[in-house]
Amino acid sequence: MINGSLVRGARGILGWSVQTLARRAHVGTATILRVERARTSPYGQHRTIEKIERALADGGVHFTEGAHGEIGLRLDASQHAE
Contact in structure between 80 and 13 (CB atoms under 8 Å): no
Alpha helix stretches (DSSP H) within the chain = 4-14, 18-25, 29-37, 46-59
Alpha-carbon separation of residue 56 from 23, 67, 68 (angstroms): 11, 23, 24
Q: What is the CA radius of gyration of the chain?
A: 12
pLDDT along the chain (82 residues), means of 10: 88 96 96 83 76 95 85 77 50
Q: Against a cut of 0.85, is the pTM above it?
A: no
Give the pLDDT of residue 68: 84
Give the pLDDT of residue 39: 59
4-75: CATH architecture: Orthogonal Bundle (1.10)
Give the pLDDT of residue 36: 92
Q: Is the dihedral of CA 22, 25, 1, 13 positive or negative?
A: negative
Contact in structure between 62 and 76 (CB atoms under 8 Å): yes
